[in-house]
Amino acid sequence: MTAPDPNDGPGGAPSAGPGAPPPALVRSPLSDGEWHRLHPLTPLLRGGLFLLVVIGIVVANLRDRLIAIFFPWSGEDGVDVDMQGDPVDFVIDNNLYLVALLIVVGVLAVLVGGFYLSWRFHTFRITDDDVEVRSGILFRTQRRAPLDRVQGVNLTRPMIARLLGMAKLEVIGAGADGNVRLEYLSTENSEAVRADILRLASGQRLAEESARREAAGSRVAALGQTVSRGLTGLVEGEEAPVAEPESVVDIPVARLILSHVVSTTTVMLILGVVAVAVGAARGTPWLLFAIVPGLIGVGAYWVRSIIRSLRYSIAPTPDGVRITFGLLTTITETVPPGRIHAVEITQPVLWRPFGWWAIRINRLSGRNAADTSADQFTTALPVGTAADVERVLRLLQPGVPADEWGMIVAQGMVGPGRRPAPVGEDDAEATDAAADGFRTSPRRAWPLRPLSWRRNGFRVTPDLLLLRRGFIWRRLAIVPLARLQSIGIDQGPLDRALRVAGLRAHIVSGPVYASLGAIDRDDAVAAFDDIAHAAVAAAGDDRSHRWAEYLEAPVDPESGS
């Protein structure tokens, strides 16, 4: 599977090419800095769909001929099989069997040859600085993903690929349409390569080099470490699969299905079915043509979202948070520390009696705006209890002090309790602020937030900006200050009349909307300065982009991912 390389040593023996990763940090033979090819069955998965489409077109055009061959009695039963203009008849009438056979063989040879050349010219390599992919037969393309800009690594196993023991690896870059895809690799190799990429991107090699410089290691000690790694490799095997870590959250299937049943999508489906029934009863076909297509689309999305959420798990690993989901197509996503730009905890009004919540995140996906699959990588918890939410939040934001989680879960998610009887607006607001911990909207903002003005508020900690809003749909946005791009204040004519303003945190695009309106004007101005200074301090202290570089002791790469 290895492409020839001019850097090979004498006798064809491969030599360590420039930029080869340190052998102590990689486990897969595909992570040696040399060019490699993908799995030999890759053309079957990438071109198999095209062949199925071609076969479908041929069968559709020859359906009458096929009916006459396999059901010869159909013409006697009054079914008129019209084969006029059938290309098969043309071949038979003109005795062109050999020509037709040569054409079919030629077309198949061109297709198979094209798939083979596409596989042969599609190579990749993993160096100590980046992941590179070269592809194309006539028009060559080369893409490179720097390791210090890796936002995560996704492992996708479509149903057919799982049956063949293959998986698709996608290295998430920082720019739009900046992902690098390796499709396909064997499942064992893809797991090992994923761990190698994340380990190289973590800065662990810098930490180990620093440790080696400080330690007075002898040649005997170095030889002993080499022998130890060799024995470990013999015992574990070169392509031993990475063990699946245990999930910190267990979602029962019944809860998952019921959470989709008790949702606004189900309400839309019910209303659509009622509208279709009314239209059919009153004989208004235009209503059916207008609603039925949309009803089918909503129903398909409803079923697809349930299937996609099955087999969900989330667990910590040394390389970040590992999220797995999907029944037919299994997707494993590893999000390194510091790559999450915002977290939002939501609770629809229909979930409130059950005490269920969902978590979504904003992160750089590396996909273009037309890629609809990007939405499936924004759900960190499809449905869970308050205890499940706290466990997931501790994984997504590991740097938050332990004493802050009680406030975030109790006050940030649920919100303040019953407001005491007002003895004056200022006194009531001071009492609420002391009991709540959030700076909430003043009573005069009631016209702008008639239901949620008591809950609408924000809080700034040394690490996070918390934005709480919504009464019918409860939402809590959590923005790490180290990931904050900027902060803004807006004020419209009605806001100026009521002496309130809006506060918005500028972050990367995604489902999390980090904005809050109807905040006291003085509080918003004070928060503007506080958040700006706190963000600068948090960014200066942040080291999450090199999450293994500052460990007290290097992590042994042979112990797992």
Top pLDDT among 91 and 382 is at 382
> What pLDDT shows up at residue 501?
94
**Rounded distance, CA 204 to CA 56, Å?**
52
For the cut 50, the answer to whether the pLDDT of residue 429 exceeds it is no
The lowest-confidence range among 23-32, 234-243, 328-337 is 234-243
For the cut 60, the answer to whether the pLDDT of residue 330 exceeds it is yes
Across the strands, what pairs with 459? Answer: 466
> What pLDDT shows up at residue 559?
41
Strands 123-126 and 152-157: unpaired
- Write out the two tokens for 534: 């706190």
Per-residue pLDDT reduced to its tens digit, 504-556? 999 988 889 899 999 999 999 999 999 999 998 888 887 766 655 544 444 44
For the cut 50, the answer to whether the pLDDT of residue 492 exceeds it is yes
Q: What are the counts of helices (DSSP H) followed by strands (DSSP E) for the chain?
A: 16, 20
The lowest-confidence range among 27-31, 153-157, 433-437, 500-504 is 433-437
The lowest-confidence range among 44-48, 233-237, 426-430 is 233-237
Q: Phi and psi (nearest 5°) for 27?
A: -115, -30
Write down the domain spans for the chain: 45-120, 261-309, 343-541
For the cut 50, the answer to whether the pLDDT of residue 7 exceeds it is no
Assess contact for 310 and 328: CB atoms under 8 A.
no
For the cut 90, the answer to whether the pLDDT of residue 478 exceeds it is yes
For the cut 90, the answer to whether the pLDDT of residue 475 exceeds it is yes
Per-residue pLDDT reduced to its tens digit, 77-96? 444 445 455 666 676 677 77
Per-residue pLDDT reduced to its tens digit, 138-196? 888 888 888 877 878 888 888 888 888 888 888 887 666 678 888 888 888 888 888 88
Nearest to 475 by CA among 379, 375, 348: 348
Assess contact for 503 and 515: CB atoms under 8 A.
yes
Contacts of 462 (CB under 8 A, 6+ apart): 481, 534, 537, 538
- Average per-residue pLDDT in the chain? 76
Top pLDDT among 212 and 28 is at 28
Q: Give the mean model confidence (pLDDT) for residues 53-75.
A: 64
Q: Give the mean model confidence (pLDDT) for residues 122-142.
A: 87
Please calculate the CA angle 115-186-48 and round it to the nearest 5 degrees: 30
Top pLDDT among 21 and 192 is at 192
Whole-structure pTM over 0.85, yes or no? Answer: no
